[in-house]
C-alpha cells in the first residue's frame, strides 16, 4: 500500500507521463507480492491465530489513522488560513490513504478467499469425473487448469478488481466535478469516449482470442513437461532429453509468438489511449482557451483562467484513469478466457448413471454374471470392444480370463469396477444390476491388484490403509497375509517408511505385495487380479504367488491370467478373443478341445512365463 501511495504522490509531483509508468510498476510489484506462496498460504488457513493476525493488524492501523485524523481536525481549528489549507490537504490525503488501504486489503482478501475455494472446488469436480473423461483429457492439461488458470483469475479478482474500482471512481468523480465547473467544456472532453470505447472493444476481442491460444499452448507445454518428468527414467535411458526439450521448447516458442502479438496489441492499445488522453487535453486547452479569451473581452461570458486550470487538473485525472484502465483491460480479458475454461470444468456433471434409489445388499455373496454385454469406449466410438459377452462366476469361484492381447480382458475388469457402463446387456451382482447398486458401497466390496500397482508417495502404512481407516494391527495383519511384513520390518522406519520419490524405491515384487495387502485390508468379496507379465525374481515370485493364493481363498476372483498354474487352478477359464468369448470351460476341458485355448497354452502360457505378446 505504501508503495502505491508513493506512486500516487509521484502522480501529483511529476504529472501525467511520469505517473503512468510509475503506477504500472506499482501494479506489477503488487502482483508479485500477492503471488508469493506465503501470502496465499496465509489467507488459505481457515481458522487459528494466523488467520486473525491480519485482521488485528488492520484494526490497529485503522484506529491509528482515525486518531491522526482527529488530531489533524483539531489542529485545523487552531491555525490560520494557508496552514489550514495545507493541513486540510494532508487530512484528505490521510483519508485517501486509509480508504486505499481498506480497498486493497479487502479486495485482495476476498479474491484470495475466492480463489482458494475455487481451487478446491475445481479439484473436487475433476476428481469426481468418470473414467472416460480422463481418457480424453490429459493430466497435464487438467493440472494446468488448476494452477495456471486459477492464478490468472486470482490476479484479476484481487489486484485488478481493486484497481478497476479505483480508476472508475476516479474518472466518474472527476467528471461530476467537471460538469459542475463547466458542462460544455466537459462535453468536448467526452467526445473521445466513443473512439476509445470502439478501440477497447476491438482490442478486447483480439486479446481474448490470443490469450486463449496462449493459455492452450502453455497447457500443451505443461502436459509435455509432466509426461517427460513423470517418465524421466525412460527419457534418460533412451537419451531422449534433447527430444523432450525440443518438443517442450516448440510449444513455448509457439506461446512466445502469441506473446509477441499480445505485446504489440497491448503497446498499440496503450499508445492509442495515451494519444486520445493527451488529445483530450489539447481539445480542452483549445476550447477552454477560447472561453478564457471570451471572458477577458466580456466578463459575463466564458470562464476565468483559474477555472480552466482547475478543469485541466480534473482532465488529467480522467485521462490518467483511462490510460491505467487500458492496462488492466488485457488482464481482464485473459481472466475471462481462464474463467470460461474453469467454469466449463466446474459445471461439468460426471457422465455416470446414478440410480434414483441406490441399493445396498445386506450381504454380498459374490455371484457375478455378464449378460450379453456390449461395450464401446466413449473415446473411440467407432470400434466396439466387447461384442456380446456372457459368462457366470459362482460365489467363491476363481475365473481366469485369457486370450490374445487387445481382446478385451482388461475392459471386462474395468466394467466390473464400474469405470464404465455397458452400452447393451447387463452385469449382475447377486442377481442385481450393477448399475442400480450404490457405487461407493459396491467399490468397497471390490479390490483390485493390477500388474504394476501404483503406490502413493506416503508411508507404507498409509498405502496399505488407503481404502479405509485401519488400526496398526489390521495393517500389520494384512501385510503378514500378503508376505510383506518381513521386508517392511527390514526398513529402518518400518511401516512409516516413505514410498516413492522422496522415499524408498520398492522392487516390483515388494510393490505387488504392498498392493495385495492394500486389497486384503478391504476384506473384499470380489477380488480382481491382473497377473504381472514381467517375470519377477524366483524368490519374489514365490512370495507374491503365495500371497495371491492366500488372498483368493473364500473370495470370488476374476483374474487376467498369464500363468499356467493359475489357469490350472481356475474353476473356469474364459477365452476372450476380439471382444467375444471364443471358448469357456475348465483347463482340461479346453485342452481336450484342441481349439484356440490349446494353441494359446502351447504358445504363451508355457512354463508360466508368457511371451511379451501376451495380454
The stretch near ligand ADP (CB under 6 A) out of 60-68, 352-360, 408-416, 458-466 is: 408-416
Q: Cβ 398 to ligand ADP, closest distance in Å?
A: 18
Q: Cβ 408 to ligand ADP, closest distance in Å?
A: 4
Specify the residue, 296 or 390, whose C-beta has the smaller distance to ligand ADP: 390
Cross-strand bridge partners of residue 498? 459
How many chain residues are in contact with ligand ADP, going by CB under 6 A? 14
Give dist(CA 251, CA 571) in Å, integer: 54
Per-position DSSP letters for 127-161, written without gaps between them: HTS-HHHHHHS-HHHHHHIIIIIHHHHHHIIIIIH
Residue from 302, 337, 408, 524 in contact with ligand ADP (CB under 6 A): 408
Residue from 211, 212, 409, 418 in contact with ligand ADP (CB under 6 A): 409
Nearest to 302 by CA among 314, 287, 313, 317: 287
Q: Should residue 390 be labelled a site residue for ligand ADP when binding is judged by CB under 6 A?
A: no
Nearest to 422 by CA among 204, 579, 254, 298: 579
Residue from 79, 88, 379, 507 in contact with ligand ADP (CB under 6 A): 379
Q: Cβ 514 to ligand ADP, closest distance in Å?
A: 24
Q: Should residue 377 be labelled a site residue for ligand ADP when binding is judged by CB under 6 A?
A: yes
Nearest to 324 by CA among 273, 289, 361, 282: 273
Return the residues of window 112-151 that contact ligand ADP according to CB under 6 A.
135
Residue from 21, 202, 405, 565 in contact with ligand ADP (CB under 6 A): 405
Give dist(CA 25, CA 252) in Å, integer: 26
Cross-strand bridge partners of residue 433? 428
The stretch near ligand ADP (CB under 6 A) out of 43-51, 54-62, 64-72, 374-382 is: 374-382
Specify the residue, 281 or 398, whose C-beta has the smaller distance to ligand ADP: 398
First CA to last CA across the chain, in angstroms? 64
Specify the residue, 103 or 409, whose C-beta has the smaller distance to ligand ADP: 409
The stretch near ligand ADP (CB under 6 A) out of 43-51, 239-247, 283-291, 372-380 is: 372-380
Q: Should residue 385 be labelled a site residue for ligand ADP when binding is judged by CB under 6 A?
A: yes
| Residue 576: HSE in the Cβ half-sphere, 13 Å Cα cutoff | 27
Give dist(CA 328, CA 168) in Å, integer: 12
Q: Should residue 565 be labelled a site residue for ligand ADP when binding is judged by CB under 6 A?
A: no
Specify the residue, 130 or 294, whose C-beta has the smaller distance to ligand ADP: 130
Specify the residue, 519 or 560, whose C-beta has the smaller distance to ligand ADP: 560
Specify the residue, 107 or 375, whose C-beta has the smaller distance to ligand ADP: 375
Torsion angle in degrees (nearest 10) through CA of 519, 520, 521, 525: 90
The stretch near ligand ADP (CB under 6 A) out of 113-121, 295-303, 375-383, 599-607 is: 375-383
Q: How far is CA 287 from CA 140, 185, 311, 570, in A?
A: 59, 7, 12, 98
Greatest C-alpha distance within the chain: 122
Nearest to 155 by CA among 345, 347, 327: 327
Q: Cβ 407 to ligand ADP, closest distance in Å?
A: 4
Specify the residue, 24 or 135, whose C-beta has the smaller distance to ligand ADP: 135
**Beta-sheet strand order (sheet of 446-449):** 446-449, 526-530, 556-560, 398-402, 572-577, 580-585
Q: Should residue 610 be labelled a site residue for ligand ADP when binding is judged by CB under 6 A?
A: no
Q: Cβ 389 to ligand ADP, closest distance in Å?
A: 11
Q: Cβ 10 to ligand ADP, closest distance in Å?
A: 59
Helix (H) or strand (E) holding 237: helix 232-237
| Residue 155: HSE in the Cβ half-sphere, 13 Å Cα cutoff | 24
Specify the residue, 43 or 385, whose C-beta has the smaller distance to ligand ADP: 385
Paired sense of beta strands 368-376 and 384-393, if any = antiparallel
The stretch near ligand ADP (CB under 6 A) out of 225-233, 295-303, 400-408, 564-572 is: 400-408
Q: Should residue 411 be labelled a site residue for ligand ADP when binding is judged by CB under 6 A?
A: yes
Specify the residue, 197 or 405, whose C-beta has the smaller distance to ligand ADP: 405
CB 366 within 8 A of CB 527: no
| Residues in CB range of 157: below 8 A, 6 or more apart | 107, 110, 111, 114, 115, 335
Q: Should residue 406 be labelled a site residue for ligand ADP when binding is judged by CB under 6 A?
A: yes
- Rounded to 5 degrees, φ, ψ at 573 are -115, 125
Specify the residue, 133 or 487, whose C-beta has the smaller distance to ligand ADP: 133
Is the C-alpha dihedral spanning 589, 595, 600, 603 positive or negative?
positive
| String of contacts with ligand ADP for each residue 150-169, x by CB under 6 A | --------------------
Which residues sit at the interface with ligand ADP, rule CB under 6 A? 135, 377, 379-380, 385, 403, 405-411, 615
Amino acid at each position: 500500500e505504501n508503495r502505491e501511495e508513493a506512486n500516487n504522490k509521484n502522480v501529483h509531483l511529476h504529472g501525467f507521463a511520469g505517473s503512468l509508468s510509475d503506477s504500472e510498476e506499482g501494479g506489477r510489484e503488487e502482483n508479485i507480492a500477492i503471488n508469493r506462496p506465503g501470502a496465499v498460504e496465509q489467507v488459505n488457513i481457515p481458522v487459528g491465530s494466523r488467520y486473525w493476525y491480519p485482521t488485528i493488524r488492520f484494526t490497529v492501523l485503522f484506529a491509528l489513522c482515525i486518531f491522526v485524523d482527529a488530531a489533524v481536525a483539531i489542529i485545523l481549528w487552531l491555525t490560520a488560513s494557508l496552514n489550514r489549507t495545507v493541513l486540510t490537504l494532508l487530512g484528505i490525503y490521510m483519508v485517501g490513504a486509509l480508504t486505499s488501504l481498506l480497498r486493497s486489503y479487502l479486495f485482495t482478501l476476498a479474491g484470495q478467499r475466492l480463489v482458494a475455494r475455487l481451487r478446491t472446488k475445481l479439484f473436487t469436480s475433476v476428481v469426481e469425473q468418470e473414467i472416460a473423461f480422463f481418457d480424453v483429457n490429459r493430466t497435464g492439461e487438467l493440472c494446468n487448469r488448476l494452477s495456471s488458470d486459477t492464478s490468472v483469475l486470482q490476479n484479476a479478482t484481487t489486484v485488478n478488481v481493486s484497481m478497476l474500482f479505483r480508476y472508475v471512481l476516479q474518472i466518474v468523480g472527476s467528471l461530476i466535478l467537471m460538469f459542475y465547473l463547466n458542462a460544455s467544456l466537459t462535453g468536448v472532453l467526452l467526445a473521445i469516449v466513443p473512439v476509445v470505447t470502439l478501440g477497447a472493444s476491438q482490442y478486447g476481442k483480439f486479446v481474448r482470442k490470443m490469450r486463449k491460444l496462449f493459455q492452450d499452448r502453455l497447457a500443451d507445454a505443461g502436459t509435455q513437461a509432466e509426461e517427460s518428468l513423470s517418465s524421466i527414467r525412460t527419457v534418460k535411458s533412451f537419451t531422449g532429453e534433447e527430444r523432450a526439450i525440443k518438443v517442450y521448447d516448440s510449444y513455448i516458442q509457439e506461446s512466445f509468438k502469441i506473446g509477441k502479438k499480445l505485446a504489440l496489441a497491448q503497446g498499440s492499445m496503450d499508445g492509442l489511449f495515451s494519444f486520445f488522453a493527451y488529445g483530450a487535453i489539447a481539445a480542452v486547452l483549445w476550447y477552454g482557451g477560447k472561453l478564457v479569451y471570451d471572458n477577458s473581452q466580456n466578463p459575463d461570458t466564458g470562464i476565468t483562467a483559474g477555472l480552466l486550470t482547475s478543469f485541466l487538473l480534473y482532465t488529467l485525472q480522467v485521462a490518467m484513469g483511462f490510460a491505467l484502465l487500458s492496462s488492466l483491460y488485457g488482464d481482464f480479458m485473459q481472466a475471462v478466457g481462464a474463467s470460461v475454461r474453469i467454469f466449463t470444468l466446474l459445471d461439468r456433471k460426471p457422465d455416470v448413471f446414478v440410480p434414483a434409489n441406490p441399493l445396498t445388499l445386506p450381504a454380498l455373496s459374490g455371484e457375478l454374471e455378464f449378460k450379453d454385454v456390449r461395450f464401446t469406449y466413449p473415446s473411440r466410438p467407432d470400434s466396439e470392444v466387447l461384442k456380446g459377452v456372457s459368462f457366470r462366476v459362482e460365489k467363491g469361484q476363481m475365473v481366469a480370463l485369457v486370450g490374445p492381447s487387445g481382446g478385451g480382458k482388461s475392459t471386462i475388469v474395468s466394467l466390473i469396477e464400474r469405470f464404465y457402463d455397458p452400452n447393451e446387456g447387463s452385469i449382475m451382482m447377486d442377481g442385481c444390476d450393477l448399475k442400480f447398486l450404490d457405487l461407493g458401497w459396491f467399490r468397497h466390496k471390490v479390490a483390485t491388484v493390477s500388474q504394476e500397482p501404483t503406490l502413493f508417495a506416503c508411508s507404507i502404512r498409509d498405502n496399505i490403509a488407503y481404502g479405509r481407516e485401519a488400526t496398526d494391527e489390521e495393517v500389520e495383519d494384512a501385510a503378514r497375509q500378503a508376505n510383506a511384513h518381513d521386508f517392511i520390518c527390514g526398513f529402518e522406519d518400518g511401516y512409516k517408511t516413505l514410498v516413492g520419490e522422496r522415499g524408498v524405491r520398492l522392487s516390483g515384487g515388494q510393490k505387488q505385495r504392498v498392493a495385495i495387502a492394500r486389497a486384503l485390508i478391504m476384506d473384499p468379496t470380489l477380488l480382481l487380479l491382473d497377473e504381472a507379465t514381467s517375470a519377477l525374481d524366483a524368490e519374489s515370485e514365490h512370495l507374491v504367488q503365495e500371497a495371491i493364493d492366500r488372498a483368493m481363498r473364500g473370495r470370488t476372483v476374476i483374474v487376467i491370467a498369464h500363468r499356467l498354474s493359475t489357469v490350472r487352478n481356475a474353476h473356469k477359464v474364459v477365452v476372450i478373443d476380439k471382444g467375444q468369448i471364443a471358448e469357456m470351460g475348465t483347463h482340461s476341458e479346453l485342452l481336450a478341445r484342441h481349439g484356440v485355448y490349446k494353441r494359446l497354452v502351447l504358445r504363451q502360457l508355457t512354463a508360466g512365463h508368457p511371451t511379451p505378446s501376451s495380454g
